[in-house]
Structure 1
Amino acid sequence: MNTVKEQDLERAYKSLKIAIWLYFLLWVFEGALRKWILPGLATPLLIVRDPIAIFIIIRAFYLKVKFINGYVVLSAIFTLLGLAITLTFGHGNLFVGLYGARIMLIHFPLIFIIGAVFTKEDILKTGRVMLAVNILMTLIIYLQFTSPQTAYINIGLGGEGSAGFDGAMGYFRPSGTFSFTTGLSAFYILASVFVFYFWLSKERCSKLLLISSTIALLIALPLTVSRTAVLGVFLVGFFAFAGSATSIKSIIRLISTVVVILILFTVLQKTTSIFNLGTQVFMSRVDTAKGQEGGSIVMRTINGFTEPVTTLLNAPLFEGNLGMGTNAGAQMLTGQRKFLVSEGELNRVGGEQGLILGGGLIVLRLVLAFGVFFSSIKLPGNYKLLPLTFCGTALFLITQGQWAQPSMLGCAVIATGLLIAGLNIKLNTE
């Protein structure tokens, strides 16, 4: 009886899942469209996933998917009130206000739709695709890293300038298929979730694909010249190992995984010149950042939580700056892409909407992060590994991810949605 019901749901959700896959693919390749394929449409393609998101929400309503919860309702209320205040007493620009409002109104709900309709097999399919794309992405950033900034592969948005960002030793941080290096860092952190998961679980995955993708990840990390990417992958590994240590067999598998990764790392270090060069550039970047104010990534993370508290306490009860904290919003208002509110995510949210509404959204995101984490650790041992491994990336993306940046927003939606789908596996199998 349950099998028949599952088959009916699978047929009903088919179009919805296709749209979610399209959203996923556009997240990965949106920057490629804006840089290489359709550079003349770089500006409108900034919101290329928005119509897909709207379709997913409408389709989910039609199929009676249970995704409306306290998070979705409160985020909509806070955002709509913020939009009303922005248009009435704030900067008054409708397009900037709508651009800012779309983050919580049409992208945030997708987290719970993905969590409701994706099955374990859907998550695993996503993982296998990520492993394959990871190999392609590493080839692209290898070419970007070793090519001059004037080369076509390093061209910027709209086919102008360079997409590279200052790194170290004369080398630049590549952006891969994304519009900016932050999107690439988020991609590799999410890709590492599946690398660790397939090594530590019994799930079916081509060993050739898994080993190739693991090597690609190890090569890519220093080439990104991104401390966020490297620290994020280590964090995912910590959560994955914590989730896998539930029995003697799983601990043996964990030790085997560590040994395999160390062997691959050693082989790359001994045989691959680009890996050694990337490591030197990355360590130079780390040393340079130490001497800069706020250079420590740990301190930056801590400040990302403490500064918004200070800012909010000194902020007015309401602010009419919705959308102003995004680069696109700033460009519409001033003609320049810059941070008019704050580069830090929680500071941006508070600075756009003030103590009451901005503070409410910050608390809502923190509660969501703690909620999914505690739900993950409470699961029985054989259900714990998948969602807890996702916590390694989703917790950061929920609390500190720059949702004003489209690539980071897309990654946050996908990672958190898959995490919630992972939490629902036990529920769906009972």
Structure 2
Amino acid sequence: MAKGIGTKGLIKLLLWAYIALLLGEGALRKWFLVPLSEPLLIVRDPIVVLIYLLAFRANLFPVNGFVIASIFMGFMAFLFGALSSESSVIVTLYGMRINFLQIPLIFVIGQVLDYKDCVQIGKVLIALALPQVLIMVLQFSSPQGAWINSQVGGGEGIMGALGRYRPPGTFSFITGPAAYFPLVLAFVIAFLLHEGRRYTWLCYIGAASVMLAIPISISRLLALTCALVMLAATYAFYRLPNPPKLIIRSVGAAALILVVVPMLPVFDTATETFTARWVSSTGEDVEGFKEEVVGRFLYGLVGLPFNALFEAPLTGHGIGVGSNVGAKMLTGEVTFLMGESEWQKAIMEMGPMLGLGFIVLRLMLVVFLFRYAFSALGRGNAMPLLLFTSCFTLVLNGQWGPPTILGFAILGSGLTLAATKTSSLSAEDAPKLRQPDDPAPAAHSAHR
């Protein structure tokens, strides 16, 4: 073990490795290590296990209701999977690592990192936004057969509109940018609110990258999540004691970005394609939004899970069966055997009782994170609320089967908790934050 670093320092290094693989895993799978594409699906899992071992050693592993519930549900899901004639042990284990392995990591991140660490992570994520969006522009402008548009497992990309495919950047699929850029936007706004002039130009570049990424991605999820972050920012701006110069600087940055980004040659084409993605078959934007976005979301959140309650066996078809990897192991084809809705899949895989329990667990986790984020806002710290807003939909009902969505759900949640810990910072480090009494809230730092 490296001398002078300590266990906590090693955990931080491993968390940086986790973030690096989260951002670059897709590039490895489709460009550089194509033969290892399938093993790279779980490349972050050994890092997570090693973090847990180190956390146990340093008495930093969390023991709280969420972790205990995850262990119990994972054990029951394993038993149910063993009883299922439709699954296998390998598929069951794969399903358990999707649903339960990384939940404790949220609280380890919240225990080991603090606001200052979040600033360092935010700086890196914002700095990488520009090269990320430039890769997406190149993908958007290139034919599907180009090397830059290589897909994991071969084949074509996901169609967007007007014959254009949705560019995933360095990620495996478009869900990567849809989770990454809202997190970047959350950090940009938090820096503008709390970090003074230190990162002004970095924030300008990050905000411009996000603005360009929205139409280039042709992703409605990215646009809607960024809109939620902006709503949270508006509320935080109202709640915080913002000096006039901060208001002027924010408005000036927005005006500059709104003028410069639309001047880019690719912007008009991207905007036209993105707009077409919102239009329904009737050609009416409003109806298209109601049908394709609101209706689809509500049906996936309520309708499909409700139907699954009456269709699923008492012990389910087996955890992992509904994932693409599980389906390929069992049938040889990449498909959705249990449906695309995350809550529907949970019920079909684990049965009505355990599936509902898992849904409630994720819902309560969202409520828990929101309480801490909102409490931090009352102390003058808007970063946790912004980070929460960028990731809570992924925690609530995001598809955790794709490793990128799971990774951003866990990372965003952990950073939300970590960003609430500001009392160890000096006034110079956090000039606009009022310090809480307790640097590590007991509810997410419960030790063994």
Give the TM-score normalised by the residue count of structure 2: 0.88
Q: Deviations over 1:124-166 (max 9, x none)?
A: 01100001111110111010000000000001114x333x210
After TM superposition, the structure 1 = structure 2 runs for residues 236-255 of structure 1, keeping only pairs within 5 Å, are 236-249=229-242, 253-254=246-247
Separation in 2, partners of 1:103, 1:37:
25
Separation in 1, partners of 2:5, 2:375:
28
Residues 280, 292 of structure 2: 8 Å contact kept: no
Separation in 2, partners of 1:387, 1:329:
35
Separation in 1, partners of 2:340, 2:93:
20
Which residue pairs with 1:361 in the alignment?
Answer: 358
Separation in 2, partners of 1:68, 1:191:
30
Residues 191, 199 of structure 2: 8 Å contact kept: no
1:301 aligns with 2:297: yes
CA pair 283-60 structure 1, distance change in 2 beyond 3 A: same
SS of the aligned residue for 2:382 comes to: helix
What one-letter code is carried by the residue in structure 1 that aligns with 2:298? I
SS of the aligned residue for 1:296 comes to: helix
Q: Deviations over 1:274-293 (max 9, x none)?
A: 11211111001111476779
* 1:12 aligns with one of 7, 14, 25: 7
Which residue pairs with 1:206 in the alignment?
Answer: 199
After TM superposition, the structure 1 = structure 2 runs for residues 17-36 of structure 1, keeping only pairs within 5 Å, are 17-36=12-31
- Which piece of structure 1 moves more, 21-30 or 251-260? 251-260
Separation in 2, partners of 1:229, 1:330:
27
* 2:370 aligns with one of 359, 370, 373: 373
What one-letter code is carried by the residue in structure 1 that aligns with 2:300? G
What one-letter code is carried by the residue in structure 2 that aligns with 1:131? I
Separation in 2, partners of 1:161, 1:335:
16
Separation in 2, partners of 1:297, 1:46:
29
The Cα shift of 1:346 comes to 1.2
1:386 aligns with 2:383: yes
Which residue pairs with 1:275 in the alignment?
Answer: 267
Separation in 1, partners of 2:377, 2:142:
49
Extract structure 1 runs of 4+ deviating beyond 6 A: 289-294
Which residue pairs with 1:220 in the alignment?
Answer: 213
* 2:397 aligns with one of 396, 400, 408: 400
Residues 373, 417 of structure 2: 8 Å contact kept: no
The Cα shift of 1:246 comes to 2.4
1:194 aligns with 2:187: yes
1:150 aligns with 2:145: yes
Residues 86, 321 of structure 1: 8 Å contact kept: yes
Which residue pairs with 1:409 in the alignment?
Answer: 406
CA pair 371-242 structure 1, distance change in 2 beyond 3 A: same
* 1:161 aligns with one of 150, 155, 166: 155
Residues 240, 380 of structure 2: 8 Å contact kept: no
User: Percent of aligned pairs with the same residue?
Assistant: 34
SS of the aligned residue for 1:379 comes to: helix
The Cα shift of 1:235 comes to 0.5
Which residue pairs with 2:62 in the alignment?
Answer: 67
Separation in 1, partners of 2:301, 2:47:
32
- Point out where structure 1 has 5 or more consecutive residues left out of the alignment: 1-7
CA pair 245-293 structure 1, distance change in 2 beyond 3 A: closer
The Cα shift of 1:252 comes to 6.2
The Cα shift of 1:344 comes to 1.1
After TM superposition, the structure 1 = structure 2 runs for residues 338-349 of structure 1, keeping only pairs within 5 Å, are 338-349=335-346
* 1:130 aligns with one of 125, 132, 139: 125
The Cα shift of 1:352 comes to 0.8
The Cα shift of 1:68 comes to 1.9
Q: Deviations over 1:212-250 (max 9, x none)?
A: 221111111100000110111110111122123224425
The Cα shift of 1:408 comes to 0.3
Separation in 2, partners of 1:255, 1:311:
52
SS of the aligned residue for 1:109 comes to: helix
CA pair 307-384 structure 1, distance change in 2 beyond 3 A: farther
The Cα shift of 1:356 comes to 1.2
Q: Indicate the structure with greater helix content.
A: 1
Separation in 1, partners of 2:53, 2:166:
39
Which residue pairs with 1:48 in the alignment?
Answer: 43
Which residue pairs with 1:4 in the alignment?
Answer: none
Which residue pairs with 2:33 in the alignment?
Answer: 38
Separation in 1, partners of 2:244, 2:93:
50
Separation in 2, partners of 1:244, 1:11:
39
The Cα shift of 1:257 comes to 1.8
Residues 305, 347 of structure 2: 8 Å contact kept: no
Residues 238, 392 of structure 1: 8 Å contact kept: no
SS of the aligned residue for 2:100 comes to: helix
CA pair 408-232 structure 1, distance change in 2 beyond 3 A: same
CA pair 236-380 structure 1, distance change in 2 beyond 3 A: closer
Separation in 2, partners of 1:284, 1:174:
16
Residues 35, 157 of structure 1: 8 Å contact kept: yes
Which residue pairs with 2:322 in the alignment?
Answer: 325
1:428 aligns with 2:422: no
What one-letter code is carried by the residue in structure 1 that aligns with 2:266? I
Separation in 2, partners of 1:152, 1:129:
27
Give the TM-score normalised by the residue count of structure 1: 0.92
Residues 236, 393 of structure 1: 8 Å contact kept: yes
Separation in 1, partners of 2:298, 2:406:
21
Which residue pairs with 1:3 in the alignment?
Answer: none
Separation in 2, partners of 1:373, 1:110:
18
Separation in 1, partners of 2:243, 2:347:
43
